[in-house]
A and B are shown apart, each in its own frame.
Chain A
Amino acid sequence: MDIIVAALPLLLKGLQVTLYIFVIAIILGFLIGLLVALLRLAPIKILNWIAKVYVDAIRGTPFIVQLFFIYFGVNSLNVISLDSTTAGIITVAINAGAYFAEIIRAGIQSIDKGQTEAARSIGFTGAQTMRYVVLPQAFRRMLPTITNQSIISLKDTSLLSVIGIADLTQQGQIQASATFEAFKVWLAVGVIYFIIIYLLTLIANFIERRVQVR
C-alpha cells in the first residue's frame, strides 16, 4: 500500500496532464465535428466531399498512426515545429472531430423535416433555423453518443504516452519500472481512469436528465 501512496502524487500529476489535454482536445474536437457536420449537409457538393474525405480518412486509420503522422510526419517537414503536447491535443481533436461529425450529422438528420418547415414558414433564415430549432433538439438526442465518444477519446489519450507526454499512463510506466511493482501500479492507474470516466458518465447523465425533451 505504501508503494501506491508514494506513487500517488506523481500519478495525480499525470492525471492532470491527461485531463488538460482531454478537455482542450474534446472542445476543439466538438467544434471541428460541428463544422464538418454542417459542411457535410451543406447544399454544395465540393464541401460535402471535403467533409466526407476527412471523416473517412480518420475513421479508416488507427489513432496511433494519426499521432505519429502529426508528431513525427508533420514535424519532419520542418515547416512548423509541434511540441508533443500540442501534437497530442491536435491528434485527439482531429480524431474525435471526425466521429463527432458523424454523430452530429445523424442527430441533425433525425429531426423531423416539419420542424424546419415550421421555422422557415415563420420567416427564420436557414442559419437561424439551425441555431434556434434544429440544433437544440438534435443535441439533446445526441448526448448519450457524445458522452460515449468523449469516453473513448479520454482513453485514447493514454496512447499519447508513446510520444513522451507525461500523462497518467506515462507516469504509471515510470512508477512501475522504478518500483518493480507493476501489478500494484497498473491497478492504481486503472482505478484512476475508471473513477474519472465514471464521474464523466454521472455528469453526462445529470445533464441528460436536465435537458430532456418533454
Chain B
Amino acid sequence: MSIIIVKNLRKSFGTVEVLKDINAEVQEKEVICVIGPSGSGKSTFLRCLNLLEEVTGGEVLINGHDITDPKRKININKVRQEVGMVFQHFNLFPHKTVLENITLGPIKIRATDKAEAGRLALELLDKVGLKEKASSYPGELSGGQKQRVAIARALAMNPKIMLFDEPTSALDPEMVGDVLEVMKQLAKEGMTMVVVTHEMGFAREVGDRVIFMDGGYIVEENEPNELFGNPQHERTKAFLSKVL
C-alpha cells in the first residue's frame, strides 16, 4: 500500500489558487524529488502532507489515515510524529542546546526517559557527524551544521516519512555537500522521503522518481533518467534547459 496518497488536492490562499489538482502516490522506502520553478506550488504541496497548510479540497492519506477528513477523527499531532520535516531555514530552537533540540520531542511528547533520549540523540548526532556539538547552541553552528542537527531532530521521533523543504537552498555552496551526504545515507537506509529541491544532481542520483511541478499542477513525473534525459512536456524542457 502507498504510504502517502494525494487525491485531487487543492489549496488556495485567499483568491490565489496555488495547488490546482494534485494527484500523487508515494510507496514505502521511495525517495521522491519535487522540482519546479519558484511559485509552482511545490513547497505548499509538501506542507499539505503534514497539514502545516490547511487544504482547500481533496484528500491526503498518510499511512492510511485521511488527515484531511473534515470530521477530524484523526489526531493530527499523532500523525505528525510519524512525519519528520526539515525546513529551508532550519528553525532550530535557539534557546536550547543542540542536544536539547533533539531530545525535546521524545521527552515531552513520547515521555521518553531523559537519559535514554540523550543517548539516542547522541547516536543521531554521531550519524550526522556532529557529536562534538551536543552542548553547543544553534547560534554557534554554521548553516550546514544547523541543517544536519535539524535532520537529527526530526529523526529523533523515529518517523516513517521525512519531508524536506528546500533543505540546502539557504546554505553556502561548500556546506551543501555535507547535508546531501546525510540525506543520501538516509535514503540508503530505506527512509521514505519527499524532497523539494533545486539540487538536480541529488534528484538524479538519489531520487527514485522526480515530480516536475508548474503553475499548481504536476506537469510530469518519471524516473530521474527519463525525466532529465527525455522530458515529454514543453514546460519541463524549458525549465530543465534553464537549470541544467
Contact = CB atoms under 8 A, between A and B. Distances in A.
Contact of A124 (B84, B109, B137, B154): B109
B68 interface: no
B78 A117 contact: no
Contact of B77 (A115, A118, A123, A132): A123
B104 A137 contact: no
A136 B108 CA distance: 15
Contact of A123 (B80, B87, B89, B94): B80
> How big is chain B's contact interface, by range?
20 to 34
Contact of B105 (A124, A137, A213): A124
B60 to A, nearest CB: 15
A125 B89 CA distance: 22
B80 A122 contact: yes
Given A117-B87, A214-B137, A128 B108 contact: yes
Interface string A175-214: 0000000000000000000000000000000000000011
Interface in B131-151: 137, 139-140, 150
A115 B93 contact: yes
Interface in A121-139: 121-125, 128, 132-133, 136-137
B197 interface: no
A214 B139 contact: yes
B42 interface: no
B80 A120 contact: yes
B93 A118 contact: yes
A114 interface: yes
A207 to B, nearest CB: 14
Most buried by A among B78, B83, B94: B94
B85 A121 contact: yes
Given A121-B80, A123-B77, A114 B140 contact: no
A125 B109 CA distance: 9
A52 interface: no
By secondary structure, the A interface counts as: helix
Nearest to A119: B93
B236 interface: no
B91 A122 contact: no
A66 to B, nearest CB: 36
Most buried by B among A119, A122, A125, A214: A122
Contacts, number: 64
A213 B94 CA distance: 7
Contacts of B140: 214
A125 B108 CA distance: 11
B153 interface: yes
B81 A132 contact: no
Interface in A87-117: 112, 114-115, 117
A133 B108 CA distance: 12
A4 B222 CA distance: 90
A190 B85 CA distance: 57
A137 B181 CA distance: 32
B81 to A, nearest CB: 4
Contacts of A122: 80-81, 84, 104-105, 109, 153-154, 157
Contacts of B85: 118, 121
Nearest to B88: A114
Contact of B109 (A118, A123, A213, A214): A123
A112 B93 CA distance: 11
A114 B95 contact: no
B84 A121 contact: yes
B165 to A, nearest CB: 10
Contacts of A213: 94-95, 139
Given A122-B157, A124-B109, A214 B94 contact: yes
A140 B80 contact: no
Interface of A: 112, 114-115, 117-125, 128, 132-133, 136-137, 140, 213-214
Given A121-B50, A121-B52, A140-B95, 4 more contacts: A121-B85, A123-B105, A124-B77, A214-B137
13 contacts: A114-B91, A115-B91, A117-B87, A118-B85, A118-B92, A122-B81, A122-B104, A122-B154, A122-B157, A123-B109, A124-B108, A133-B93, A213-B139
A-B CB proximity, top 3 nearest: A123-B81, A118-B91, A214-B137
